[in-house]
Amino acid sequence: MSTPQKKPTWKDYLFLHGMLFLYAAGGIASKTAAGKPFLSFEFCFFYGLMLLNLAVYAVLWQQVLKRFSLSTAFSNKAVTIVWGMLWGCLLFDEKLTLPMILGCLLIFAGIFLVVSDHG
């Protein structure tokens, strides 16, 4: 039987979304590595940076699960798609389209529904 969790505070949500922001930033290293010659210094550097990012994320995710129910934490993880689109626009000159914006709104609506239901 699991022990009931206390209601997450705004600081808990700030920690969660800060961690997800860093996780999404790993996509920058991944995409940058993909544009470099295989096994070149630059490729290895950015690939290693991505792996380091995933290792830090794994540790931080365990801390998140101490503060949130799995359904709340996992539903918030969808925000990384939004961060990925923003990184693409800002750093890689990718275009933001209306369907992408509508998808972001749908993601935020889903997160809101889960968070408001589970606290």
Q: What is the pLDDT of residues 5-43, one digit of tens each?
A: 678 888 998 999 899 998 988 888 998 999 999 999 999
CA distances from 63 to 14, 53, 67, 70, 79 (A): 13, 15, 7, 12, 18
| Residue 1 pLDDT class (50, 70, 90 cuts) | very low
| Sign of the dihedral defined by the CA atoms of residues 61, 66, 69, 70, in that order | positive
Q: Which residues of 84-95 are buried (b: 16+ CB within 10 A; e: fewer)?
A: bbebbeeeeeee
Q: What is the pTM of this model?
A: 0.73
| Residue 4 pLDDT class (50, 70, 90 cuts) | very low
* Encoded tokens for 97: 């389209």
